[in-house]
Amino acid sequence: MLRLAAGLLVAALAAVLLDWYSPSAEQKAPKGRARSFSPQPAPGAEAGNLFWALQISDLHISKFLGPERASDFEKFCMETIPVIQPALTFVTGDLTDSKMKDKLGSDQFEAEWQTYQTILKKSKVMEKTKWIDIKGNHVLPSFFGRKYSAWQKEGSFHYIHSTTFGKYSFICVDATLSPGLKRPYNFFGILNATYIPLDESEKVNLLFQNKMQELSSLAAESHDSNHTIWFGHYPTSAIISASPGIRMAMSSATAYLCGHFHTLGGLMPVLHTRHHHGTLELELGDWMDNRKYRILAFDHDLFSFVDVIFEEWPVVLITNPKPFLYSSSAHEPLQRLLHSTHIRILAFSPSPINLVKVSIDGVHLGDAIQVSGPLYVLKWAPQNYSLGFHQIEVTVQDGSDRSTTQLHTFAMEENLSLKFDLFASWILLTDHYIWVRTVFVLLVALQIVLLIIIRYRRKPTLKYPLGRTMQLSFSLHILSKINLFYYTFLLLNLYTLLGPWFIGEIIDGHIGICFSFGVFVDGHFFEGSTTFLVGIMQVAFFNLPLMAYMCWCLYIRCQGHCFSSHLYHVRLYWVVPIHLIMALLFSWQVYSCYFLLKTYGTIAFFLSPVRTWIVALTVFLFYRAWKLQSSMLRTFILEMKNYQSS
């Protein structure tokens, strides 16, 4: 069964990966949006047909932790924004931290929102750029965002940036839970039905609207724009959406900008990929720990961007030629590269720019000259690079003797192929709520099926030598034939799968019930997502080890040992490590009870069969395993003695 399941998972993963990296898939135009582009206007020496914007994400301004997050953010608004002068600035969620000092509990603190608003007002940043900030998963029902944020609209929306050379659409995807749940069950976003009070004084009268239909309508509104950029807090892999899915809804977009994953704790500093219809998905590292932000530009409708670390100057963005990896013939007029007359570079620094040196394939082409503001250009002949891949390298030096080198691979041919990082693509393109659900059900089903099969099969025949497999089989045989242990673990697994895990304050002032398949609270049901991940950890790191540990204890008992004697048996040198491992896992289970208490309150602590009650059950099973009457083990002891005397 395990081999079959593993084979199916590997086959499915291989099929997905092959589809991700199919060149035809990467350049497939979205249905109903087959666009034709003019080769003109092509990038030249003029400063027109160009604008740039900025993205920042996951500020996590905290009342208790990391005061430098707020002070650095204030410096960013007062010093960095005036240097870059973006037309638009997008803050993609988690403006405040909403976590207690111990990092366990969560709540909305008005002081954090006041700090955020004070910074915006003090820096006058909203007078320097169009500031659009949205919610993240660290949002609870007492949401102060409507009072203190810059963009006070609720839900998804469509913003149009108009220029003399066209319109550019920016569509926000609001997948936050409403009402917002306490952590950790708010990690995934959901796009299903939302509610809007018809009257603030009458919360009972609710208007339901399908979020996916709303997003489809917003996408239709953007069809006459030069480009469409979608943005939100959650990556698409962390959004539960109704068919045909969020990626299909945004298939006409050039890119989707998001945050939320925080570079996976530094393991994945770059999380970029491409959807099947050509839309780029660009997760941005967090401000909280990494101080990252992003500059994105449209230069003659060619999209480019660069991810930057705060206070690293100069900032360099090469807009022409753009990186081949991030090119899409379905959304961009790529033929304009071949018709362009100048290399174009945006260079930003608080100090004057002294030098912009350009090389291609290691050959120095010259120094770019300033045209207007941060735009620097250098005449080139793109026909010289019409075949294969080439690498452009730009070094910028400012008046403070700071220098930055930016390089990337470009190409004029559209039939070439470059691939995104395999692991990054898996993280961003896999619907994680599906595989965590599958793995959780398989883990529970494996234990249930294993118990039932061993219960009703013939006893194993002990043969010399008694190998590891035979020991495991015999120990499972012992556990499954003793009613106390058999029915305990059978019911434990069934309950983990179907029963309520705990009852507690999932929202402040509102009692809810948490199951593996979802959460019921305040008259709403939230489909299971993070719950399955928590369930996997519970089963893999406690339920299953506990059953294996009980099998081992009973096996030792059948060898004629009691608890005190087996500790000193010379041949059982692995006794202490086994007890130590189980003690560590038991400590983790006890800590999870404490986490439940701090997160969801006293009621959740006492009404939690899968957390608190299991702690008591473990102590009881341990006691029963070592104090079990010999008469109940007589059959198994005789089998073991017959083997030992043979």
Each residue's pLDDT tens digit, 175-188: 887 766 777 787 88
The yes-or-no verdict on residue 639 having pLDDT over 70 is: no
Quote the strand ranges of 57-192, DSSP E: 88-92, 130-134, 157-163, 166-173, 189-191
| Token digits of residue 45 | 């020496």
Each residue's pLDDT tens digit, 194-244: 444 444 444 433 334 578 888 889 999 999 999 999 999 999 999 988 778
Q: Going from the N-terminus, what domains does the chain have, and what CATH number goes with each?
A: 2-44+52-429 (3.60.21.10), 432-645 (no CATH)
* Segment 627-638 mean pLDDT: 66
Alpha helices by DSSP H, 149-304? 211-221, 246-249
Task: Return all residues near 480 (Cβ < 8 A) that are at least 6 apart.
Answer: 451, 454, 455, 486
Query: What would you measure as the largest C-alpha separation in the chain, in angstroms?
Result: 95
Burial label, 14 (beta-carbon count in 10 A; 0-12, 13-18, 19+): exposed
d(CA 448, CA 459): 18
What confidence tier does 625 reach under pLDDT thresholds 50, 70, 90?
A: confident
Q: What is the pLDDT of residue 571?
A: 59
* Segment 73-79 mean pLDDT: 96
* Segment 67-80 mean pLDDT: 95
Q: What angle do CA 223, 227, 233 make, to 5 degrees?
A: 100
* Segment 287-309 mean pLDDT: 96
What confidence tier does 15 reach under pLDDT thresholds 50, 70, 90?
A: very low
Predicted TM-score (pTM) of this structure: 0.86
Q: What is the pLDDT of residue 566?
A: 67
Where is 296: in which H helix or E strand? strand 292-299
Each residue's pLDDT tens digit, 602-614: 999 999 999 999 9
